[in-house]
Amino acid sequence: MPYVITEPCIGVKDKSCVAVCPVDCIYEGEDQLYINPDECIDCGLCEPECPVNAIYPDTEVPPEWRHYIEKNANFFKQKK
């Protein structure tokens, strides 16, 4: 999964990242936004647009938020 949205997005759900995504792979969940790993093209346009710095490449997610990688994947498994 190229990019992951982490804890700072919870309750904020600012959609600046959605506006710049060229493949519309960012979806709104109940508590935060999520990036679909099967649709993301790893362009990185979303990361600098996030006003709360919640978006990271999966290899750079801070240790305290690593569980968001699994949370993101599970969000899309439930949608299938």
What local confidence, expressed as pLDDT, does residue 2 receive?
A: 85
Instruction: Indicate the domain borders of the chain.
Output: 3-79
Q: Determine which helix (DSSP H) or strand (DSSP E) holds 18, and give its type and residue range.
A: helix 16-20
Torsion sign (Cα): 59, 63, 38, 16 = negative
What local confidence, expressed as pLDDT, does residue 64 receive?
A: 97
What local confidence, expressed as pLDDT, does residue 59 receive?
A: 94
Return the ∠ at Cα 26 (arms to 17 and 12), rounded to 5°. Answer: 60
DSSP state of 77: H
What local confidence, expressed as pLDDT, does residue 1 receive?
A: 56
CATH architecture of the domain formed by 3-79: 2-Layer Sandwich (3.30)
Q: Chunked in runs of 10, what are the mean pLDDT values of the chain (80 residues)?
A: 91 96 96 95 96 96 96 84
